[in-house]
A and B are shown apart, each in its own frame.
Chain A
Amino acid sequence: MSSLSNRPLKALALFVEAGVFALFAVAVAYGNFHHGVGFFISLFLPIAFGAVVAARVLPTGALAQAITHGALLTGCVIFAFPFVWLVSTSFKYNEEIFIYPPRWVPVIPADVEHSPYMTTELLGDLPPEEATWDKAAWASAWPGMASYLWDRQGERIRQLPGAGDVHPESLRAAVLHGIIEYAARSLPDTAWSVGPSAVMRQIDARVDEELLHTVWDAVYRAVELREPSVQNIQRDYLPLPTGATRHIDAWQVLIGAATLGPTATDEARPSRLLSYDFAGAADAIVMRGAFPLPVPEDEFLGFTLPLRQDRSWHAVRVKLEVGGRLYESTDDLFLDQYRWQEIGFKLARLDERDERDLGIWPLVAAENQHDVFADPDCFRVTLVVEPSSRLVATWRKYTYHYRKAQLATEYWWSYVTNSVYLVLMTMIGQVLSCSIVAYAFSRLNWPGREALFAILLATMMLPPQVTMIPVFMIFEKLGWYNTLRALWAPSFFGSAFFIFLLRQFMKSIPDDLEDAAKIDGCSFFGIYWRIILPLVKPALAAVCIFTFMGTWNDFMGPLIYINDQRLYPLALGLFDFRGEHKTDFGMLMAASTLMTLPVIALFFLAQRHFIQGVTLTGMKG
């Protein structure tokens, strides 16, 4: 090595390091005023120092190993947290996404053996955020406060619809928790300074029907049913013909430790409450009801079942018997909501459109058609509730947004196919064209080389927004509009960025190998193909990775050139998805995760080749 370049290099090193330390200096200076801003920024410190320390003592000792691992792990925490957050958000209920402090482990659903039941999973911790007491003060005051509140409100709470069906202890705990949570929200801060009994009096005074109703909605879970309505082939919704008995009473439990009781809610829209107990026997519950048809059976398209669910994540299978045929649901349906919903079912053979996104599930003819209910004036619905273990419930809860995301994007697979195709084509194009151009720029001497290289660099400097429209017009003339070709063809002309990158690599290859080949009479292409290309494998890997990332994440190009949703790549699909479901955060995160996973997998696998490429270059010795 020439000692000539030593001094500027030292200056450069100093400059680079000065950059790092300038950052720290700012952080520290700022930290003097606001204690600890540096704390966050200094999380970067262990990486930098870890590197230096590791390099210093690496060859010796376990200590060095430990320090290196420590530095690596610290970095991992910083660099992985976004992805961890992305994934963990995709596992959350919508209600738990924005709560503060953030939950890193999403709620694991309870093992629901009895229903109706009470839950506090949507409530915050006690004491409520608004309370100005500390935890200890709260803990000592709470039992007394609770019994005071229960003495005053217990009677009303026990009168709440459905309160008689749940375990009294859990009723008391959950409702009181809820009252505190909701009442505290509107309690002035001064109220807390007076003392427990005064606070309780104020909270008590705030309890009215409306507040109890809100609390009850948040903590009470039950399965309830109303009578179905029928959809005819013209897709009109028809109520059942009125008869002597209420249709709602047609529901009966056939098998299982469950009862169907009346609920005392809305007289105009009667409903039945399902109380079940899976604790003893874990058999499925079978419920059935036969209802009169308001239309001739050949005009029957499907039915809508108003159902209140208990978010227990138990599975529900639906069977329909109509016109002497038995139909079954094919999708996995779970008790995954806790509000009233109108779930639709339709005969898939009469209407093939995929409307699962609209909450209308297809029913297909069952294989086994024995003993089918054959009353021509009635249809019969059977609901089978299969209990799930906690593990299964967790899996179902965690994959909820993924299933929804899949339903919401009917073209998911074509997005993936398009993206993969684009990535492959652009990678091939870039690797082939850029490497050969870079070879010409770095290792061949020809007149005009320097001038063209300057032009090459210059083309990178003009922002793409200005040339977008002229380029569009050219592609349109070439007939590439609304085709994927418009997105991959340019890569075969090379890209300045990669040519420059590869040129830098090729220039740092010693001349000896090439000279030897020349003496052996190798052609220029031969040198490029046999000698240079294998030597720049790591750089080619970098080109591949950059191309992959760029193509995989590019949405502006497809946005402008692609019209047909079937030709969308994933990134544009996701960008669209964001526009359409911007309030559905969990689903958005699930879609992002699905989009990111292939890239991670590829990077993880490509590593190997990348490293092998390096070790095979023969430059080690």
Chain B
Amino acid sequence: MILRPAVVVLGLLWSAAAHADRELIVWGQGKDRGLDAALRQFEVEHPGWKVITTSGSSGGMNPQKLMCGITGGAPPDLVKQDRFSVGEWAVRDAFMRLDRYVALSLRGEELAVRVRATLAEKDPVATLAVLGELDIHLRPLGDTRQADLLRSLRASASGQPLADGTQALADELVSLLGGIHEQRFFTACWEEACFGENQDRAVYGIPNSTDDRALYYNEDLLERAGLVDGDGRARPPRDWQELHDFAGRLTERNAEGKMTRLGFAPNFGNSWLYIYGWLNGGRFMSADGRTCSLADPRIVEALQYMVRVYDSLGGIEDVESFQSGFQADEFDPFLTGKVAMKIDGNWTLNNIADFAPGLRFGVAPAPAPAGRESITWSGGHSWAIPAGAGQPDMAFELIRFLNTDRIWDLRYRVEARYAASRGRSFVPVMSPMPHVNAAAFERHVRDNSDLPQRIKDGFLLFDGLMEMSRFRPVTPVGQLLWDEHKRAYEKAVHHTYSPAQALQRGQALVQAELDLLHADTAFPRVDWAWPVAGIVILAITGLGIALCRGGRQGLRQLALPESIAGFAFVSPWLVGLLVLTAGPILVSIVYSFCRYDVLHPAEFVGLDNYRLLFTDDPLFWKSLANTAFMMIGVPVGMAVGLAIAMLLNTEVKGMQAYRTVYYLPAIVPMVAASLLWIWVLNPEVGLVNSLLRTSGVSDPPNWLQSSSWLVGSKTSIMLMGLWSAGSGMVIWLAGLKGIPQHLYEAAEIDGAGVFGRFVNVTLPMLSPYIFFNLIMGVIGTMQVFTQAYIMTEGGPDDSTMFYAYYLFNNAFRYFKMGYASALAWILFIIVLALTLFQLKIAPRWVHYESDG
């Protein structure tokens, strides 16, 4: 333990010494033991290179980091990007086209194959010629294992007769130089990473993982409910009608009507409206990508179907509160028989193998409406090279390396070994290439006696289903389409709108965005000379006016020692303001009049953003209302904070410990606190609701799962805020400590009671702090963000879509920085108005001792 710091220091020194290594920066890659081993192998085969991986936050690539990296001129060399967003970044020129590199990789492989062929034909002249070509081909990569191999091949090819093992060297060369073959990938995976029309079409990412979806069913439960075939074996539903029917028959309730088992819920697992829309023959986008057809009648039908199923189960809130009782993977209710059927991804197989190897389950393609064929849909990640990356050759070399068969094999072997060391059975992760999956099945699945047959069957089914997989439309508005498709589903199942209305609203929004992108009207680029000139003129005029108004007397005052000291003392902040704050703030005001996707230069669109905001953006008003509602929490929070502080200001033994305890909630890291609160407020098993149930509430609120205004997600977040009131307590406590005791004594002599002393001494003396906390509370509330970001993602049903979170989404999810800046300035004006109002009325109630 004590040695650890020393080891770290030594490690740092060592890494500093070895800094001659060139680094390849990879973002978006979380802990993956198989891949780690592959990267180490890459370093071995490419001496002088080091691969540095950064997860880029919590599983997925954080868009802020990537955007900052690319625009700030410090992009990574390689990024692992959710495949469905590759097109979105590609259209904004953020990723490199990879076609040239793909062709080069094929050329390398072809040359290696020719080397082998000429060697087999015993044609040394031809061999040397091809080796020469290969040498030129590989030269940009520098010193690698391939180059070594090339040298030894050349040495042995020039000797007569051929040295033993030359042919083996050639075989190795071929395996080292495996290229990227489009046709070796599942079509869905490859297509999803391509973008563009006709000759502009290019591949921007090389798929590195995939998943797809099918129906899982619990055989025990189906058999018990009598849903069996002629042999008495469980029979999965064949079409939508049966699925609906089974859902009802498999759902169980207790005497009070509370759900104890869920037969099937359309959106439990990972299915979404996407799968139902496609199953019903719908299309979400037109073929040319110009028209969004979210409200396609077939998709409307699909959504109607989902709503019908939910309604027949007792409504969405019932189902959601039931399923929210289960959290992490090992508590997947399907694994414990609490849910009888679900449509979910192939990864569930791994969970079953890990946590419920004895489960009697089956997997079948998702049922389609009668007469239609079943399909699935897939997602996954791709490797992409950001625009401006410094070492694209080497970055692509890494992509190519990782996609060779031997490296996939290495990864699977390491993963299998790790699983064994943890006492878990190993199910290979699905690769985007069928032949790799076949090899993995052969090696790790087929003869593995620890794996139940059902899991082996499932593995094959999912691999086979990939052939008929759909994928989310590749479009510049992919994220928006996803969010709107989800929103339409939420609005429809909550019966806020009918399915058709909900989908039409979503379609209109997506279409508007598409039209904007495809509009031919060219907007002028922002000429920065104008805003800069404007600012300079403004500053000069301001200064001039100030000087004029101050006049000579003002100038004289400026020379007073007190003024000089004043300016000198504020200079740290002033410098920071000018260098770090003023620029960005002024830039953002210019952006608010622009269409600006961060990755391209801004285009001036006048007041468009503001007009759109006020006239055509329901979410803007919704988020404003949500945020305004949160203001209720400000005075309540202050009152609680003050009450606690007064309590902690009493003189009793052990106060130090008490204060620490009261401060605990503010100390627990947000990441941990959010997990904690999700658990505490869990409608089924949460602490709050179990307390409520013991005190006789039969139907406690659904807290974070409920979109209700009174006791719903917003109130939950307020509750969280109250609970961490301890952070404000420090200020109150400091304020209370600053009240001179003699004032209380004087008041007591005057015959003031406790309440009198509180009102006449404590409150006036605290008024500067009340004022401070009020202003900060209002500002903080207007900017409430983290809870929505970490815990609720704006849901359910947009009930925690707070202003700052909506702004964030526009800036970093939809690439609408201009719009986000407009939002920011409206927020700025609102907060400023509130603050000015408070400053205005402050002298009437804020009491400063120094004012006399």
Contact = CB atoms under 8 A, between A and B. Distances in A.
B660 A185 contact: no
Given A474-B579, A549-B667, A560-B68, A466 B572 contact: no
Interface stretch (A81-89, A363-371, A379-387): A81-89
B72 A469 contact: yes
Given A443-B850, A508-B738, A595 B845 contact: no
A582 B8 contact: no
Contact of A437 (B76, B570, B738): B570
Interface in A552-609: 552-553, 555-556, 559-560, 563-566, 571, 574-576, 578-583, 585, 588-589, 592, 595-596, 599-600, 603-604, 607-608
B495 interface: no
Given A6-B760, A86-B672, A614 B647 contact: no
Interface string A3-17: 001101110110111
A553 B670 contact: yes
Contact of B577 (A39, A459, A574): A459
Interface in B729-759: 730-731, 733-734, 737-738, 740-743, 753-754, 758-759
Interface stretch (A18-26, A158-166, A239-247, A250-258): A18-26
B309 interface: no
Nearest to A268: B449
Contacts of A105: none
A28 interface: no
B585 A462 contact: yes
Nearest to A514: B850
B817 interface: yes
B640 A83 contact: no
Contacts of A617: 738
A538 B664 contact: no
Nearest to A81: B687
Interface string B62-83: 1011011001111010000000
B255 A342 contact: no
Contacts of B679: 85
Given A76-B662, A580-B31, A583-B329, A446 B764 contact: no
Interface string B647-679: 110111000111111111111111111011001
B852 interface: yes
Given A439-B569, A493-B572, A571 B669 contact: yes
Contacts of B569: 436-437, 439-440, 444, 524, 528
B423 A54 contact: no
Contacts of A447: 546, 550, 554, 557-558, 563
Contacts of A506: 850
A456 B848 CA distance: 20
Contacts of A519: none
14 contacts: A1-B743, A2-B847, A34-B692, A40-B692, A55-B650, A56-B754, A83-B667, A100-B684, A102-B687, A185-B337, A442-B850, A468-B68, A493-B580, A595-B669
Contacts of A481: 72, 74
B692 A465 contact: no
Give the most central of A79, A466, A564, A619: most B CB within 10 Å: A466
Interface in B300-334: 325-331
B690 interface: yes
Nearest to A455: B577
Interface stretch (B99-107, B373-381, B765-773): B765-773
A47 B811 contact: no
A466 B811 CA distance: 8
B336 interface: yes
Interface residues of A, number: 188
A489 to B, nearest CB: 9
Q: Which 5 A-B pairs have the closest CB atoms?
A: A493-B576, A359-B421, A446-B566, A579-B58, A440-B569
Nearest to A599: B667
Main secondary structure of the interface of A (DSSP, over half): helix
Contacts of A395: none
Contacts, number: 512
Interface in A497-514: 497, 499-501, 504-511
Nearest to B673: A82
Interface string A57-101: 010000001001101100110111111011000000010011011
A344 interface: yes
B337 A19 contact: no
B512 interface: no
A556 B785 CA distance: 12
B827 interface: yes
A72 B68 contact: no
Contacts of A5: 764, 767, 844-845, 847
Interface stretch (B121-129, B186-194, B719-727): B719-727
Contacts of A350: none
Give the most central of B546, B585, B668, B700: most A CB within 10 Å: B668
B327 A98 contact: yes
Contacts of B808: 465
A370 to B, nearest CB: 28
Nearest to B689: A40
Contacts of A1: 743, 760-761, 764, 847
A471 B418 contact: no
Given A186-B220, A579-B58, A417 B740 contact: no
Given A576-B57, A580-B30, A463 B807 contact: yes
B824 A465 contact: yes
Nearest to A41: B719
Nearest to A601: B660
A140 interface: no
A15 B723 CA distance: 21
